[in-house]
Structure 1
Amino acid sequence: MKAYDYIIVGAGAAGCVVANRLSADPKVSVCLIEAGGDSNSPWVTIPAGIFGLYGNKTYDYAFEGTPQTHLHNRKMMVNRGKTLGGSTAINSMVYIRGNQNDYDGWGKLGCRGWSYQDVLPVFKKLEANQSQQSAEYHGFDGELAVTKQQDPHPVCRTFIKAGATAGLPENSDFNGPSQFGLGVYNVKQNKGQRVSSYSAFVKPIQSRSNLTIMTHTDVLSLLLEGDLAKGVNVESNGQKEQIMAHKEVILSAGTIVSPRILLASGIGNKAELEALGIECRVDLPGVGENLQDHIDSMVTVRAKTPETIGVSLSSLVPHVILAPIKYALQRKGWLTTNYVEAGGFAKTKLAESAEPGSADADPDIQFHFTPLYRSHRGKKFEFGHGYSVFTCVLRPRSTGSIKLAKDGSHRTVLIDHNFFADERDQKVLIEGIKKAREILASPEFDGIRGKEMAPGKEVQTDEDILHYLRETASTVYHPVGTCKMGIDDMAVVDPESLKVKGLKNVRVIDASIMPTLISGNTSSPSMMIGEKGAQMILSDSSC
């Protein structure tokens, strides 16, 4: 029977950091378990390869959510990485940490050690900033390469200049003193290639003799004996087995799978577990609750000239056919794009009217600008040229849940974002669409502007926009919160140890422990959680 000191479930943003730190001690044995396979594919390493990753079940769980009551009962795909690197292997590589008040808000909720001044040194420790940004906010000696876009599209500059129309200044560092404004996003890349948590933290040290990496292995449940986890029940290639843990089991499987494993192990709401035929081992009603995500919608415009990224007769030779050559020789051209090259943070009138200094007065929407046309019909690909702005609600008040389906498998999850359950989220996104339109109406776009295809010029009133949002709004794929840390009755893990309440040696170390959603992209904060969680384990083991 296989046995290790530490078992880490999930080789994603946090899990790879934990594996690196724990295996640095040659005296301990570490097993890193990943449900997916390797990530040695051009689709992963080349930035523009994102196009072939979403929905590709080799690399993506491609979960389907439940019908959304407030979005005309639509179901939506929930993309989550299923490969070494997890979602950091399939995401847009944007490096954003969140707002300072996000972390201070965690501290006010009773999460000691998680304020902005607590987490900033952790972010800096992980970072290898290549953009010559301020040492007050950035690190330069970490494993995670953070850099400027390799070859940003010129239309991104048009978008940034257009921000002046909406009172938005240029911002060259969204992780500095202020998020407010527009700019080109820093990305997790190195020499024009994706940097995932796996390539940054595990690949360089995977030859360590005390580190075992298991791929294509699903963790079904914890193997519990009283309040101790003796190991995990897994399945690989149709064969089930048990893997034992001498010290701890660390769940880093993400906001969807970590609570699924806990629930399947009998840790959760007692009444709901018993209704599924699962013996309740720890009555912990918060497991799977508090799901939060950024709800998002777009304004997409056709371009009357072929200056943006797109496939047309005029772009075929110089940009499409020659793209592989430009990338191979210079790391230039369209294959360097992460699609959401520029963006930024703005305030709707709701934030502008909030009490100065409060979290509600911070930017409440985020933009992701794409210098290409995004289909108004929901197609993955459309011929021609254009540009789009995606707008999301940064701090949603609507919360959903992850539950087990009543199919007897204890593996199928019901993902209910419960988007727009809170009316304020509706109002923020309506105002966000207006703000995006205000930017795109700038004279800066006059030379290329064509027809607005979505929402379309006929969609003008708040009621019209809300209807459009109910028909089209989706997730930005930033789910958090389903095993939240805290001191209230719905908390799942202790903030000072990340141990699951009621268990002695099981921790959750991933985005699911966030009590509230941060204002921005979540992969980098998840790595920070991995670093802090690993240090908690190391501190305990040294006592």
Structure 2
Amino acid sequence: MNSSTFYDFVIIGGGTSGLVVANRLSEDPRYNVLVIEAGSDHTADPRVQIPALFDTLKNTELDWNFKSKPQPALGGRIINVNQGKALGGSSAINASVFVPPTKSLIDSWETLGNHGWNWDILQPYLSKAYTSPPPVDAQSSKSLGIDKWATLNDAAKGPIQTSFPASFTDPVRELWADTFAAENHLMPTDPFVNPSVGSFSCLSSIHPETKERSYSASAYYRPVQDRKNLHILTNAEVVKILFDKTKSGRPIRASGVQYKHEGTSSMVYSSKEVILAAGALQSPKVLELSGIGDANLLQKLSIDVVLDLPAVGENLQDHSVGSICFEATDALDTFDALMRQEPEATAQAMQDYTANQTGPMSHVGVTAYAYLPVRSREGRQAVQDKLHDNRPHLGEGVSCSRDSAYFTVTERALLDPSEPTAAYLTFTAQTAESAGWTKRSPPGPLPGRFLTIGAMLSQPLSRGTVHIQSNDHSVPPVIDPRYLSNPIDMEVLAQHMLEIDSIARTSSFSKLLKQPLRHGDPASHFTDVEEAKQYLRDRVISMWHVGCTCVMLPRTKGGVVDTDLKVYGVENLRVVDASALPIISTANLQATVALWSPG
């Protein structure tokens, strides 16, 4: 960083979106760009580079270590909400899963009142963000489960490098494709071209040659780090945004940022814009510390009110996920020996990776996805009944308008068999939640080999909050996602959990599992929807896909930013991260945030 305190653009947060925007703004040599990041640069850290080590980054110095308030709908459990604290943000610590949102979900952004934000307009930006995997031969195409794709996204030539995880001979993808092809639920084309309902082989943001994590810091920052007009300040926490004093009747104007670095408080100023990219849990915190938010809360914490904008920190959305693990055949290579930290298996895996970039360290074990509706007739009827019984109350005011708009969009998706309401995924191992989670479960990790099928809720109606609890920037915010608090969400996810056993018992997929079917945890062997709901109360966790807390919506519907991502009522201030999403993605957020930040 140079010694100047004046920049054209000051970006708060060097994460998944912040570095994308910094890269594109600094392409113009006339602009001086500063990025302020709370974490460190870990691009040379093997824990970040080696795909299978992602889980070791949780609850370390690269993680904000956030936890939710006790969740009443989950029996009072406190849920970990892992978020990256490093250059690259959460893209530095996530599982590298790179999957798209569906077309219908992106189109719903426009339906909510955001003109121009639809799939046809935004899909080219998604192609601009990543490079598709290299072509493969016919045999590999069949093994990957992509031989029936009518179209590939050949236009994708962006900075994030992607690959199909694991070896091409891994049997999970092919048998997953066979399972859903038999049910006419195989996605017919590359999901990055026309994503809809169906199964597909997912991509990972792992370089196809080096087998290292490809993420915001390595893809968008490292190639341009020598630009004279791009400055990165790490280990610096933002205290607040600064504003110009304005005359009566004139808009408020963001003018700079106060931050703390190495124990010293400093200020930098922006001639053009302050750009907020601190993430869905931190961006609303920064706004509130700066005096933008609910005036009642700010006054209670002795913060001068710059702008009364009550929607800041509201509308939090996240994907909750439930999973079931099954005992796999001895022929299936799994991660279970690594999960048990067996020394010989770990040493061999590191040797294979170091010597040849192969083996279990080269991927994360997530290879296959499916975007699905509730498929059983009884399940669809149960969801319809829950929709009827839990419509939002009609009334006046911003919150009523927002709730009504979201309900209309979500109801349409839940009742349309051509739209997914859950994303299913496979993981070739037991998970940390596979055993020992409740008194009824055996202690883990379990001996043997396992294959896990999970289902995450794609269209949650439950809405949470994130708000500051102090005027001290070092105090974490209070996070209350309210997981499955809406009875419709609990019903939908429980219906999807009942589908997992059906998938495991199909003639194709059951070839991977020991017979008769053996559940890793007896508690997951439920037979009706009420048992499935109890299982979710005991076991559901966050997928760490939080968003929508500085939402892009019309102000009359509780929006914080407009369709140019500018904060309502403030000049020279934008929000460009997942907090501005109108609705979170169908599944993992990484690709959607890359689409979201065209610069």
**With structure 1 as the length reference, what TM-score do the two structures score?**
0.91
Corresponding residue number in structure 1 for 2:532: 465
8 Å contact kept, 1:292–1:481 = yes
Select which of 127, 146, 149 maps to 2:165: 149
Aligned-pair distance for 1:294? 0.8
8 Å contact kept, 1:120–1:137 = no
Aligned-pair distance for 1:267? 0.3
Distance 1:478 1:279 in 2: 32
Cα deviation digits, residues 59-96 of structure 1 (max 9, x gap): 11120111112111111110011111111111121222
Distance 1:85 1:249 in 2: 19
Distance 2:444 2:281 in 1: 25
SS of residue matched to 1:343: strand
Distance 1:317 1:68 in 2: 38
Asked if 1:101 is matched to 2:104, the reply is: yes
Cα deviation digits, residues 153-181 of structure 1 (max 9, x gap): 43444444344576643666332324333
Identity value in percent: 28
Aligned-pair distance for 1:23? 0.7
Asked if 1:281 is matched to 2:306, the reply is: yes
Corresponding residue number in structure 2 for 1:423: 487
Aligned-pair distance for 1:300? 1.3
8 Å contact kept, 1:286–1:492 = yes
Q: Match of 1:64, as an amino acid? A: K
CA gap 1:255/1:383 in 2 versus in 1, 3 angstroms: same
Corresponding residue number in structure 1 for 2:235: 216
Asked if 1:448 is matched to 2:451, the reply is: no
Aligned-pair distance for 1:331? 2.1
Distance 2:355 2:538 in 1: 44
Corresponding residue number in structure 1 for 2:572: 505
8 Å contact kept, 1:299–1:455 = no
Corresponding residue number in structure 2 for 1:393: 457
CA gap 1:62/1:312 in 2 versus in 1, 3 angstroms: closer
Corresponding residue number in structure 2 for 1:370: 427
CA gap 1:310/1:108 in 2 versus in 1, 3 angstroms: closer
8 Å contact kept, 2:289–2:473 = no
Corresponding residue number in structure 2 for 1:541: none
Q: Match of 2:413, as an amino acid? A: A
Q: Match of 1:517, as an amino acid? A: I
Distance 2:161 2:275 in 1: 26
Asked if 1:493 is matched to 2:547, the reply is: no
Distance 1:223 1:441 in 2: 59
8 Å contact kept, 2:102–2:194 = no
Distance 1:176 1:144 in 2: 17
Cα deviation digits, residues 356-413 of structure 1 (max 9, x gap): x953320111112111122322589554321111111101011111111257557420
Corresponding residue number in structure 2 for 1:130: 133
Distance 1:408 1:102 in 2: 38
8 Å contact kept, 1:63–1:79 = yes
Corresponding residue number in structure 1 for 2:213: 194
Q: Which moved more, 1:163-172 or 1:332-341?
A: 163-172
Aligned-pair distance for 1:446? 4.9
Distance 2:134 2:52 in 1: 21
8 Å contact kept, 1:166–1:435 = no
SS of residue matched to 1:392: strand
Distance 2:176 2:242 in 1: 53
Aligned-pair distance for 1:284? 0.7
Asked if 1:81 is matched to 2:138, the reply is: no
8 Å contact kept, 2:422–2:455 = yes
8 Å contact kept, 1:159–1:440 = no
Asked if 1:240 is matched to 2:240, the reply is: no
Asked if 1:308 is matched to 2:362, the reply is: no
SS of residue matched to 1:194: coil
8 Å contact kept, 1:230–1:246 = yes
Asked if 1:403 is matched to 2:467, the reply is: yes
CA gap 1:300/1:398 in 2 versus in 1, 3 angstroms: same
Asked if 1:480 is matched to 2:543, the reply is: no
SS of residue matched to 1:149: coil
Q: Which moved more, 1:127-136 or 1:264-273?
A: 127-136
Cα deviation digits, residues 28-72 of structure 1 (max 9, x gap): 11101111101221111111111211222x211120111112111
SS of residue matched to 2:555: coil
Select which of 44, 48, 69 maps to 1:66: 69
Aligned-pair distance for 1:197? 1.0
CA gap 1:141/1:306 in 2 versus in 1, 3 angstroms: closer
Q: Match of 1:48, as an amino acid? A: A
8 Å contact kept, 1:165–1:439 = no
Distance 1:181 1:136 in 2: 16
Q: Match of 1:339, as an amino acid? A: G
8 Å contact kept, 2:127–2:158 = yes
Select which of 37, 41, 56 maps to 1:38: 41
Q: Which moved more, 1:403-412 or 1:33-42?
A: 403-412
CA gap 1:393/1:447 in 2 versus in 1, 3 angstroms: closer
Aligned-pair distance for 1:486? 1.7
CA gap 1:224/1:134 in 2 versus in 1, 3 angstroms: farther
Select which of 127, 135, 139 maps to 2:155: 139
Q: Which moved more, 1:402-411 or 1:98-107?
A: 402-411
Corresponding residue number in structure 2 for 1:347: 373
Q: Match of 1:335, as an amino acid? A: M
Distance 1:255 1:112 in 2: 23
Select which of 196, 213, 228 maps to 1:179: 196
Cα deviation digits, residues 318-347 of structure 1 (max 9, x gap): 954322232233322111122322222122
Cα deviation digits, residues 437-476 of structure 1 (max 9, x gap): 1111224425632621336365322111111111111111
SS of residue matched to 1:277: coil
Select which of 314, 327, 336 maps to 2:353: 327
8 Å contact kept, 1:171–1:179 = no
CA gap 1:136/1:333 in 2 versus in 1, 3 angstroms: closer
Distance 1:173 1:351 in 2: 28
